[in-house]
Amino acid sequence: MTEKKYFGTDGIRGRVGGGVMTAEFALRLGRAAGQVLGSLSRANAIVIGKDTRISGYMLESALEAGLSSAGTGILLLGPMSTPAIAWMTRSMHASAGIVISASHNPFHDNGIKFFNQHGEKLSDELELAIEAELEKDFVTAPSERLGKARRIEDAAGRYVEYCKSTFPNSLSLHGMHIALDCANGAAYRSAPQVFRELGARLSVIGDQPDGLNINAGCGSTHPQALQHAVKTTGADLGIALDGDGDRVLMVDEAGEVVDGDRLIFLLAKHLHAQGQLSGGVVGTLMSNQGMETALQALGIPFLRANVGDRHVHQLLRDNGWVLGGESSGHILNLELASTGDGIISALMVLRVLRETGRSLRELAAEMPLFPQTLVNVSTANPQAVVEQTAVQKLTREANDRLGQDGRVLVRASGTEPLVRVMVECRQADKAQKVAEQLATDIQEIASCI
């Protein structure tokens, strides 16, 4: 397959004003996307939504102009989460969806992600077709064929109602006190509305976006803020979303973080016990060994995909399964959503709590975690570093030293200029020691490239 020039593991991402995150590039990308994706449905319209970054205004306008120049209609949703945009793409029978977001990254980064007409990530073939179109001359359609833009004023309300519909009518959140961290991101309005309308009492943080504070010391990448909120408010549990609303982590009543692996496990166990789990569970190369061990003990098949929710999605599709996700809190239930949805995932967990009458802390404790250490190595070209023979040799040697007690994974980040060194071991101090030494050795090799 031809190597991609712009698309990474989750769309196109970078620092605003440098590289590809400019108004000029977004203009050209809009035209190219319109040419390739505009005809995927009879609507010949593409929806655009964004998170709360200040650069979203600039990129939205440029994409709108590019799509119009290609003769493609535009449906503007405003600030909405990534999964909301995926759902609206399907609901509106649009040709495609565009999300302007860099997810969990700080405000000075941004990204442009795409969904096809089914609300699913684009295939490699479509991404390559867009890149090929980008290389062509910018041609504007005749005036009578230019695309028109229309703002969908009730988009957020539609999505809120859909989220609520995934929670059984026979259940309620009345009597439950939830601390909610919206990461100053795309779900800052819709998430509180969903949980309140289902009856929960909320203590909300991270719901005052100013264009610059998205993910800043809050959200699923900084759960300390939510841990503090749970402890100080006496909440029954906490829910932390990320900037674009497709991830969720939770905090139990004692203030302990419950990550994506444990959330997936408790969901799988509950569905399996009710005979409602279709097949097995898909995790990733980063999924904790404790999850695989606990699922196997229940007789639930488990497979690992490459890191990234699109790879989890593909492996689920290939096997006809529905449940999977990542430690970071990307959780997929293909019966409810076409992509990870933080709000819906949280509702799935809350349903288990209500149906079992047990606490989040009790249920999460049923899956012991292997201690895991993650060390990031900063480098301009992470993929080139991990492909170095010396790095691969060091990784094999580290795995051999751990044997049956753990494992080592060294990979290039798909979203940041980092090599991620992950070591998992039954002994936490050993995992820390191996990870730090391996990261130091890799940094030395990276400095020589």
Whole-number Å distance between alpha carbons of 155 and 151? 9
Three-state secondary structure call for residue 279: coil
Do 182 and 188 contact (CB within 8 A), yes or no?
Answer: yes
Burial class (CB in 10 A: 0-12, 13-18, 19+), 195: buried
Do 247 and 256 contact (CB within 8 A), yes or no?
Answer: no
CA 44-45-49 angle, 5° bins? 160
Q: Which of 242, 235, 373, 208 is nearest to 227 (CA)?
A: 235
Number of Cβ atoms within 10 Å of the Cβ of 115: 28
Q: Which of 53, 47, 55, 64 is nearest to 152 (CA)?
A: 47
Sign of the alpha-carbon torsion through 265, 271, 275, 280: negative
Task: Dig out the tokens for 165 from the structure.
Answer: 């519909």
- List beta partners, residue 374: 422
What residue ranges in 16-95 does DSSP mark as E strands?
45-50, 73-79
Whole-number Å distance between alpha carbons of 101 and 56? 8
Judge whether 55 counts as a catalytic residue: no
Q: Which of 93, 121, 15 is nearest to 59 (CA)?
A: 15
Residue that the structure tokens 């909320």 belong to: 202
Burial class (CB in 10 A: 0-12, 13-18, 19+), 256: middle
Q: Per the residue annotation, which of 95, 103, 190, 328 is the catalytic one?
A: 103
Residue that the structure tokens 């860099």 belong to: 102
User: What is the enclosing helix (H) or strand (E) of 134?
Assistant: helix 124-134
Burial profile 37-62: b = 16 or more Cβ within 10 angstroms, e = fewer: bbebbebbbbbbbbbbbebbebbbeb
Instruction: Report, as residue numbers or ranges, the catalytic residues.
Output: 103
